[in-house]
Amino acid sequence: MNVFEAAAVAIRTGRKAALATVLAREGSAPRHAGARMLVWSDASIVGTIGGGEVERRVIEQALQVIVSGRPVLWSAHLTRDLGMCCGGAMEVFVEPLSVREPFVIFGAGHVAHAVAPLLAGLDFAVTVVDEREDLATSERFPGCALVCDDTLAFARRHPGGADTWFLVVTHDHALDQDLCEVLLPKASAWAGMIGSRSKATKFRLRLRNAGLPDDVLARLRSPVGLDIGAETPAEIAVSIASEVIRARRGLSRPPMPLSER
């Protein structure tokens, strides 16, 4: 597999990766301008920009870029900065691939209707799941995948994944709880549930009594959304999207007080 084939796989499957391209070199350096290397999130690579200390440093940069989502321009004098005997210099542009991570919204009501387009605009591949065919329509959710099926059954079938995001915003509290019990043990990038602090506290107690360990319960973001005083579905959608951006950038949200857990 060459670098471009690997990049296509990353974009198609949602697997996180960064692309490193040699922009310039001076003097004696391992690769010419235009050499490329793709770096996966597990630090494995496709292609090469020359090996050795140069490649090791660029892989480190690429892993940071994958997390931050922001490109960097890396440059170094190979002897002065890296202790290599080549004597040249290299400039490498490291950019995250535009990968659309899967974001599954359970529920197709007012909040889902408001938040889905925001998440799609943030380059998530949004899927809306609701068995109510009159709500889960392409007219209400343009650009989103729709699953008109038993919501809980779909959740049980879903494999999860380290790059998958879950949001529970259904019309039924009992269904919300059942979904959390099914989804939280699965691998995910993030899992949120709409509701008041009182609802979130009761749910955590019930889920703990159902056998979910504390480290699994800690994955639940509820009440979901940053506290901006949101009331309307549109405002709630903005608060949820804001928390998602914060989580994707690797920034933590202040934890819920112990008295409310």
Task: Give the helix/strand (H/E) hosting 95.
Answer: strand 89-96
Q: Is residue 46 scored above 90 in pLDDT?
A: yes
**CA–CA gap between residue 100 and residue 192 (Å, rounded):** 19
Its pTM stands at 0.68
**CA–CA gap between residue 69 and residue 64 (Å, rounded):** 8
**CA–CA gap between residue 193 and residue 74 (Å, rounded):** 40
**CA–CA gap between residue 15 and residue 8 (Å, rounded):** 10
For residues 37 and 15, the answer to whether their CB atoms sit within 8 Å is: no
What domains sit in the chain, N to C, each tagged with a CATH number? 3-96 (no CATH), 102-260 (3.40.50.720)
Residue 26's closest CA among 62, 75, 73, 72?
A: 75
Q: Is residue 168 scored above 70 in pLDDT?
A: yes
Confidence of residue 148 (pLDDT cuts 50, 70, 90): very high
- Residue 151 is given by DSSP the state H
Residue 28's closest CA among 83, 75, 73, 90?
A: 90
SS3 112: helix
Tokens linked to 54 = 């140069």
pLDDT at 226: 92
- Residue 162 is given by DSSP the state T
pLDDT at 19: 95
**CA–CA gap between residue 62 and residue 71 (Å, rounded):** 9
Q: Which of 54-68, 69-83, 213-227 has the lowest mean pLDDT?
A: 69-83
Q: Dihedrals φ, ψ of 185, to 5°?
A: -70, -15
Name the packing angle between helices 197-209 and 173-183 (round to 10°).
50
Write the single-letter amino acid at 233: P
Pure H helices in the chain: 3-13, 52-68, 110-121, 151-157, 173-183, 197-209, 214-217, 233-248
pLDDT at 85: 52
**Per-residue pLDDT tens digits for 211-256:** 999 999 999 999 999 999 999 999 999 999 999 999 988 876 554 4
Q: Is residue 87 scored above 70 in pLDDT?
A: no
